[in-house]
Amino acid sequence: MLRTQPAKIDRMIAVRLIPAVAALVSVAMCQPPSLIVDGGNGKTVVLTAADLSKLPQHTVNAGEHGVPATFEGALLSDVLAKVDAPSGEKLRGKLMSLYLLVEAADGYRAVFALEEFDAAFTDRKIYLATKRDGKPLTEKEGPFRIVDPGEKRPARWVRQVTALRIRQAN
């Protein structure tokens, strides 16, 4: 009798577990791509393209490696406001050493000083794009990417952005 019980248990597990795992995988695959925004202040949000579309949208013509394109998306300053990132008069003193770490799906990372997004410090605009030439970003570049038309080299135009994390330089 002891020899047959493991087989029965294995069959019971398979009958119950496999459909449950399949359902979880199905749900995970149907979830829209998302972006983690970590304010470094205890506030973190997870945003989808639909969430970002509710922010003021901007269109910018910019060239990448000599190829002109039209990108659409939100200002990174508006995205960072979702986690109460300091800006304006609040961005001073010790907070001047805050930076934004941009992380991509392939492990690529880039850093921006928080002041680079603040209208009190610069007229430069940096975007979190979700569209290129009127279409959603391709799998190779999206679903989210940084576009900084003020940079001569697009080294910080991070593709496949998965997380934005505000950190304090030590």
Query: Do 129 and 154 meet the contact criterion of CB atoms below 8 Å apart?
Result: no
Average per-residue pLDDT for the chain: 87
Cα dist from 77 to 14, 28, 84, 100, 146, whole Å: 49, 29, 10, 11, 12
> Model confidence over 45-60: pLDDT tens digits?
999 999 999 999 999 9
Q: What is the pLDDT of residue 22?
A: 47
- What the block records as the tokens of 99 is 């930076």
Q: What is the pLDDT of residue 12?
A: 54
Residue partners of 124: CB distance under 8 A and separation at least 6:
116, 148, 150
Written as one string, the DSSP assignment of 76-97 is: HHHHHHTTT---GGGS-GGGGG
- Confidence grade of residue 63 (pLDDT, cut at 50, 70, 90): confident
Q: What is the pLDDT of residue 29?
A: 56
The half-sphere exposure of 167 on its side-chain side, counting CA atoms within 13 A, is 12
Q: Where are the alpha helices (DSSP H) in 31-91?
A: 49-53, 76-81
- What the block records as the tokens of 139 is 């799998």
pLDDT tops 50 at residue 26: no
Identify the CA nearest to 128 among candidates 104, 97, 95.
Answer: 104
- Domain over 33-168 is classified CATH 3.30.43.10: no
What distance in Å separates the CA atoms of residue 46 and residue 37, rounded to the nearest whole number?
6
User: What is the residue extent of each domain of the chain?
Assistant: 1-31, 33-168
